[in-house]
Structure 1
Amino acid sequence: MMIENTGLNGVKSDLALLDETAEKAGFVRWQWEYYRATYEYKIEDNKTEYYVRMNTRVVEGKLEKPDTILVIEAVYMGKATFPHGLEYETPIPAAVQGIANKKLQQFKEMLEA
């Protein structure tokens, strides 16, 4: 499920600030390679795990250099599946969506501060 109207799509930041802000907001940079990174936030609801993901892409430099500039490309959410992966077509409970929206707003405010 794509999460629209977060105000994050297209936002640029250097890697150092993005990593610091993500950590403070509870996001983790899991998947990464030299030109992209994915930040995730886990939400648990009745023994079901959901993940909010932010995809970023390098626009200047290479990852692992603090001054690398990244742009947030997409924000989406899915239900965790076994053994690993996300299912994006499953309806997300309203309470989980609410938590995700609050967390994304918090992340955006911290990034802009």
Structure 2
Amino acid sequence: MIIENSGLNGLKSELGYLDEAAEKAGFFRGQWEYTRATYDLKIEDSQSDDVYYLRVNTRAIEGKLENPHAVLIIEDVYIGLSTFPHGLDYETPIPKHVMDVANKGIQALYSALS
């Protein structure tokens, strides 16, 4: 599920600072290549034992990800249910208490980047 109006879309940051800010907000850099990276926040639902990931997509607009001074722009923000053996299901409805945790993560990252 794409999260509309997260406030993160369009924000720009140098890679080194984004890595630091994301880590402080509980995210980790997941997938990455030379010009794209994702930052994930793992959310464990103790009520159902399901695991969800809040994912922030970024793209380099200056430089490549091997350089901490590369400038990235945040694109889509979305959340999905983790599926075995790997992958995310974006069609499954997200419980309110999981979305509450996701929104706190979004706010923490937004505060660090604004």
How many residue pairs match? The answer is 112
- TM-score normalised by structure 1 residue count: 0.97
Q: Which residue is equivalent to 1:65?
A: 67
Distance (whole Å) between structure 2 residues aligned to residue 12 and residue 106 of structure 1: 16
> Secondary structure of 1:67's partner?
coil
* Deviant stretches of 4+, over 3 Å: none
Q: Which residue is equivalent to 1:99?
A: 101
Gaps of 5+ in 2: none
Q: Which residue is equivalent to 1:86?
A: 88
- TM-score normalised by structure 2 residue count: 0.96
Cα displacement string for residues 48-102 of structure 1 (whole angstroms, at most 9, x for unaligned residues):
0000000000000000211100000100000000000000000000000011011
Distance (whole Å) between structure 2 residues aligned to residue 88 and residue 55 of structure 1: 14
Gaps of 5+ in 1: none
Q: Which residue is equivalent to 1:52?
A: 54
Query: What's the C-alpha RMSD, in Å, of the aligned pairs?
Result: 0.6
Q: Which one of 40, 57, 75 corresponds to residue 77 of structure 2?
A: 75
